[in-house]
Amino acid sequence: MRVLDHPILGRLEARRKVTITVDGQPVEAFEGEPILAALLAKGIRVNRITKKRHEPRGLFCGIGRCTDCVMVVNGVPNVRTCVTPVAEGMTVETQQGLGKWGKAK
């Protein structure tokens, strides 16, 4: 959910929108925001499934340190979604285990 109105920060400025594909579905995002933020805005909180125990993981540190939020982005596994900005046409996939390399864009 987006924080549209804020008592200190004011109204959320309108920004250019881009469309990314998340697990095959189109998702609208604001240009330049982290992938993770665009997903949270849609209520998506599971970013990957661990290799050994098949457990879900999501946002933990939010500053690129813990690597819990990594996903397969444009065919590249282990991309930290909390510090990687979205871009028009980007494909994002929930990472299974260590992730598989796909077709790079």
Residues that bind other proteins (CB under 8 A): 1-4, 6-9, 12, 33-34, 36-37, 40-41, 45-47, 55-65, 68, 82-83, 85
DSSP classification of residue 80: E
| Nearest alpha-carbon partner for 12 in 41, 35, 39 | 41
Tokens of 81: 């979604």
Nearer to other proteins, 83 or 102 (CB): 83
Residue 46 Cβ vs other proteins, minimum distance, rounded to whole Å:
5
Nearer to other proteins, 53 or 103 (CB): 53
d(CA 69, CA 52): 17
Residue 51 Cβ vs other proteins, minimum distance, rounded to whole Å:
13
Distant-in-sequence, close-in-space partners of 13: CB < 8 Å, separation ≥ 6:
none
Residue 35 Cβ vs other proteins, minimum distance, rounded to whole Å:
11
d(CA 17, CA 48): 25
Q: Dihedrals φ, ψ of 67, to 5°? A: 65, 20
Residue 20 Cβ vs other proteins, minimum distance, rounded to whole Å:
15
